[in-house]
Structure 1
Amino acid sequence: MWTTIERAILTTASLTAAMTLIAAPTSVTVPTIVAATALSIVRLVNNSARWQMVPAYLAVTWLCVAVATTLPAGMRIIGGVVALLLLTMAAALVIGLPIPNLPQPDGPFGVGKITTTEERDVTTASRMGRRRLFITVWYPAETNPVQRHPEGEALWSEFREAPGIPPVLRRLTGYLKQVRTHAIRDAHASQYATTAPVVLYQPGLVSITAENSLLMESLASHGYVVVGIRHIDQRAELDEADAAVDSGTAKRTQEINRELRGQLTRHKRARISAELYRLSTSTAAVVARRTEDSQHVLNRLPTILAIIPGHPTGELGSGRPIAAMGLSLGGAVASELSKIDDRCTAVINIDGGLYGERLHDSFNVPYLMIYSELNAGSNDLARDTAQAEFHEVTAPGAKHLDFHDATVVLPILKWSGQLGNMSGIRVARWKNGQIRHFLDRTVRCATPDTTAG
Structure 2
Amino acid sequence: MITLSQGIRKGTRPLAAGLLAVTAAACLLSAPTAYASTTPSLTRPTGTHPVGTTSLHLTDTSRPDPWVPTAKARELMVSLWYPAKAPGRDRAPYMTAKESELLLKAAEITGVPSDVLSKTRTNSFTDAKPAGRKHGLPLVVLSPGFGKPRSELTALAEELASRGYVVAGIEHTYESVATTFPDGRVTTCVVCEIKKTPEWWVKLEKGRAADVSFVLDELTGSRPKWKGARLIDPARIAMAGQSVGGASTITAMLADSRVRAGIDMDGTTDAPIPAGGLSRPFMFLGRQSTYSPGAGDEAATWERDWKSMTGWKRWLVVTGAVHVSFTDYGLLTDQLGIESGADLPGARSVEITRQYVRAFFDLHVLKKAQPLLDKPSARYPEVKFCAPETKTCA
TM-score by length of 2: 0.70
Q: Note if contact 1:141-1:193 (Cα within 8 Å) is conserved in structure 2.
A: no
Question: Which residue of the partner structure matches residue 420 of structure 1?
Answer: 342
Question: Which residue of the partner structure matches residue 108 of structure 1?
Answer: 48
Q: Note if contact 1:325-1:347 (Cα within 8 Å) is conserved in structure 2.
A: yes
Residue 325 of structure 1 pairs with residue 237 of structure 2: no
Q: What are the superposed Cα offsets for residues 225-270 of structure 1, whole Å, 9 maximum, x if unpaired?
A: 110111222212344xx3464xxxxxxxxxxxxxxxxxxxxxxxxx
Q: What are the superposed Cα offsets for residues 56-94 of structure 1, whole Å, 9 maximum, x if unpaired?
A: xxxxxxxxxxxxxxxxxxxxxxxxxxxxxxxxxx98332
User: How far did residue 103 of structure 1 move?
Assistant: 2.1
What is the rounded CA distance, in whole Å, between the counterparts of 2:342 and 2:105 in structure 1? Answer: 29
Q: Note if contact 1:401-1:419 (Cα within 8 Å) is conserved in structure 2.
A: no
User: How far did residue 383 of structure 1 move?
Assistant: 1.5
Residue 160 of structure 1 pairs with residue 103 of structure 2: no
Q: In the superposition, relative to structure 1, how do residues 204 and 159 fare at CA in structure 2: closer, same or farther (>3 Å)?
A: farther
Question: Which residue of the partner structure matches residue 293 of structure 1?
Answer: 211
User: How far did residue 446 of structure 1 move?
Assistant: 7.7
Residue 136 of structure 1 pairs with residue 136 of structure 2: no
Question: Which residue of the partner structure matches residue 411 of structure 1?
Answer: 334
Residue 438 of structure 1 pairs with residue 381 of structure 2: no
Give the aligned CA root-mean-square deviation in angstroms.
Answer: 3.4
Q: Note if contact 1:192-1:223 (Cα within 8 Å) is conserved in structure 2.
A: no
User: How far did residue 381 of structure 1 move?
Assistant: 1.3
Q: In the superposition, relative to structure 1, how do residues 319 and 236 fare at CA in structure 2: closer, same or farther (>3 Å)?
A: same
Question: Which residue of the partner structure matches residue 336 of structure 1?
Answer: 251
Question: Which residue of the partner structure matches residue 226 of structure 2?
Answer: 307
What is the rounded CA distance, in whole Å, between the counterparts of 2:122 and 2:60 in structure 1? Answer: 31
Q: In the superposition, relative to structure 1, how do residues 425 and 346 fare at CA in structure 2: closer, same or farther (>3 Å)?
A: same
Tell me the SS of whatever aligns to 1:294. helix
Question: Which residue of the partner structure matches residue 364 of structure 1?
Answer: 279
Q: What are the superposed Cα offsets for residues 294-328 of structure 1, whole Å, 9 maximum, x if unpaired?
A: 111111113686534xx3x75x6463311111000
The amino acid across from 1:220 in the alignment is A
Q: In the superposition, relative to structure 1, how do residues 318 and 401 fare at CA in structure 2: closer, same or farther (>3 Å)?
A: closer
Q: Note if contact 1:198-1:323 (Cα within 8 Å) is conserved in structure 2.
A: yes
User: How far did residue 123 of structure 1 move?
Assistant: 4.7
Q: In the superposition, relative to structure 1, how do residues 289 and 224 fare at CA in structure 2: closer, same or farther (>3 Å)?
A: same
Q: In the superposition, relative to structure 1, how do residues 91 and 442 fare at CA in structure 2: closer, same or farther (>3 Å)?
A: closer
- Structure number having the greater helix percentage: 1
Tell me the SS of whatever aligns to 1:136. strand
Q: 2:132 aligns with which of 183, 191, 202?
A: 191
What is the rounded CA distance, in whole Å, between the counterparts of 1:113 and 1:281 in structure 2? Answer: 36
Q: Note if contact 2:92-2:123 (Cα within 8 Å) is conserved in structure 1.
A: yes
Q: What are the superposed Cα offsets for residues 19-44 of structure 1, whole Å, 9 maximum, x if unpaired?
A: xxxxxxxxxxxxxxxxxxxxxxxxxx
Question: Which residue of the partner structure matches residue 34 of structure 2?
Answer: 93
What is the rounded CA distance, in whole Å, between the counterparts of 2:121 and 2:103 in structure 1? Answer: 24
User: How far did residue 356 of structure 1 move?
Assistant: 3.0
What is the rounded CA distance, in whole Å, between the counterparts of 1:158 and 1:369 in structure 2? Answer: 34
What is the rounded CA distance, in whole Å, between the counterparts of 2:249 and 2:152 in structure 1? Answer: 16
Q: 1:383 aligns with which of 274, 295, 306?
A: 306
What is the rounded CA distance, in whole Å, between the counterparts of 1:346 and 1:103 in structure 2? Answer: 26
Greater RCO structure (CA 8 Å; 6+ sep): 2
Q: In the superposition, relative to structure 1, how do residues 438 and 126 fare at CA in structure 2: closer, same or farther (>3 Å)?
A: closer
What is the rounded CA distance, in whole Å, between the counterparts of 1:444 and 1:306 in structure 2? Answer: 25
The amino acid across from 1:108 in the alignment is T
The amino acid across from 2:93 in the alignment is A
Question: Which residue of the partner structure matches residue 323 of structure 2?
Answer: 400
User: How far did residue 390 of structure 1 move?
Assistant: 1.2
Correspondence list, 1:171-182, <5 A = 172-182=113-123
Q: Note if contact 2:50-2:83 (Cα within 8 Å) is conserved in structure 1.
A: yes
Tell me the SS of whatever aligns to 2:260. strand
Q: In the superposition, relative to structure 1, how do residues 138 and 323 fare at CA in structure 2: closer, same or farther (>3 Å)?
A: same
TM-score by length of 1: 0.61
Tell me the SS of whatever aligns to 1:364. coil
Q: In the superposition, relative to structure 1, how do residues 188 and 361 fare at CA in structure 2: closer, same or farther (>3 Å)?
A: same
User: How far did residue 122 of structure 1 move?
Assistant: 5.5
What is the rounded CA distance, in whole Å, between the counterparts of 1:340 and 1:405 in structure 2? Answer: 29
User: How far did residue 398 of structure 1 move?
Assistant: 0.8
What is the rounded CA distance, in whole Å, between the counterparts of 1:214 and 1:125 in structure 2? Answer: 29
Q: Note if contact 2:135-2:234 (Cα within 8 Å) is conserved in structure 1.
A: no
Tell me the SS of whatever aligns to 1:300. helix
Q: Note if contact 2:152-2:327 (Cα within 8 Å) is conserved in structure 1.
A: yes
What is the rounded CA distance, in whole Å, between the counterparts of 1:330 and 1:173 in structure 2? Answer: 27
The amino acid across from 1:237 in the alignment is V
User: How far did residue 176 of structure 1 move?
Assistant: 3.1
What is the rounded CA distance, in whole Å, between the counterparts of 2:368 and 2:355 in structure 1? Answer: 19
Q: In the superposition, relative to structure 1, how do residues 305 and 429 fare at CA in structure 2: closer, same or farther (>3 Å)?
A: farther
Q: In the superposition, relative to structure 1, how do residues 440 and 136 fare at CA in structure 2: closer, same or farther (>3 Å)?
A: same
Give the percent of matched residue pairs that are identical in Structure 1 and Structure 2. 21
The amino acid across from 1:153 in the alignment is A
Q: What are the superposed Cα offsets for residues 320-374 of structure 1, whole Å, 9 maximum, x if unpaired?
A: 3111110000001111111121101100111111123746662211001101122
Q: In the superposition, relative to structure 1, how do residues 409 and 190 fare at CA in structure 2: closer, same or farther (>3 Å)?
A: same
Tell me the SS of whatever aligns to 1:237. coil
Question: Which residue of the partner structure matches residue 374 of structure 1?
Answer: 289
Q: Note if contact 2:65-2:73 (Cα within 8 Å) is conserved in structure 1.
A: no
Q: What are the superposed Cα offsets for residues 407-433 of structure 1, whole Å, 9 maximum, x if unpaired?
A: 1111289865x4321111111101100
Question: Which residue of the partner structure matches residue 27 of structure 2?
Answer: none
The amino acid across from 2:268 in the alignment is G
User: How far did residue 173 of structure 1 move?
Assistant: 3.5
Correspondence list, 1:2-151, <5 A = 92-95=33-36, 99-121=39-61, 123=63, 129-143=72-86, 147=87, 150-151=89-90
User: How far did residue 169 of structure 1 move?
Assistant: 7.5
